[in-house]
Amino acid sequence: MFEGKLVILRALEKEDLGILKEWRNSSHVRKSTREYKLLNMINQKNWFESIHQSNPPKEIMFGILNKRKKLIGVTGLTYIDWKNRNSEISIYFSTKNWQTKPEAKEVINLIVEYGFEELNLHRLYVEIFSLMKENIKLFSQIKFIKEGELREKVWRQNKWWNTIIFSKLASEYKK
């Protein structure tokens, strides 16, 4: 368990998959993720199996708990490339407008700390749809550097949207 002032990160368990499914299918999470289907328990179980397949893992996922030990969100490192030492950060919460809450920054700090200090990664990145203004603001605030925009990369809400790539290098990381 990794403990912050406001949140705790713990390993995900199979028993979490039901509630995660509800969250992933909710409109505020769907808006920000690449998934375009509605997920069922088969999808969820297959995903859970698949993230435990490779060694070293390509995905390391955590449940986010509040101080009352209630599961409030999910975070993790995905597409871990051990050769080139980079990975994408994944994060979502059960409630809307989480981006402005102090918990969000703390979770990202914990995951960044884990990526650099424990896994010895070199670059952590996120790909944000341009419709997610809140996420863009959040990652700018915590000093991720904008690397560029992939033009008209996703089709959502009946139009094309750019995706924006932000990253932080180990050399830019200060505890």
Partner 1 sequence: MNKKSKIELKKVTKLDLKLLIEWRNSKDIFPYNTQYFLLNSKIQIDWFNKMQNDNSKKMFMILYGKIKIGICGLIDVDKKNKNAKIAIIIGKKALHGKGIGTIVISHILKYGFNKLKLHSINSEVIEYNKNSIHLFEKSQFKLDATYRDAIWRNNRWWNIKSMSIFKKDFNEFE
Angle at 10 between CA 48 and CA 71, to 5 degrees: 85
Q: Which of 83, 159, 174, 175 binds partner 1 (CB under 8 A)?
A: 83
72: left (phi over 0), alpha (psi -120 to 50) or beta: alpha
Nearest-10 Cα torsion for 59, 65, 70, 72: -70
> Rounded to an integer, what distance in angstroms lies between the CA atom of residue 149 and that of residue 136?
12
Q: How far is CA 128 from the centre of its chain?
A: 11
Block residue for tokens 């490779």 = 54
**DSSP conformation class of 58:** S
Q: Which of 125, 132, 136, 144 binds partner 1 (CB under 8 A)?
A: 125
Of 47 and 82, the one with the shorter C-beta distance to partner 1 is 82
Residue 36 touching partner 1 (CB under 8 A): yes
**Cβ 7 to partner 1 shortest distance, Å:** 29
**Cβ 80 to partner 1 shortest distance, Å:** 14
Q: Which of 62, 76, 86, 126 binds partner 1 (CB under 8 A)?
A: 86
Under DSSP, is residue 141 helix (H, G, I), strand (E, B) or coil? Answer: helix
Of 11 and 145, the one with the shorter C-beta distance to partner 1 is 145
Contact pattern from residue 135 through residue 174 relative to partner 1, giving x for each residue in contact according to CB under 8 A and a dash for the rest: ----------x-xxxxxxxxx----x----x-x-x-----
Contact residues for partner 1 (CB under 8 A)? 36, 83-86, 122-123, 125, 145, 147-155, 160, 165, 167, 169
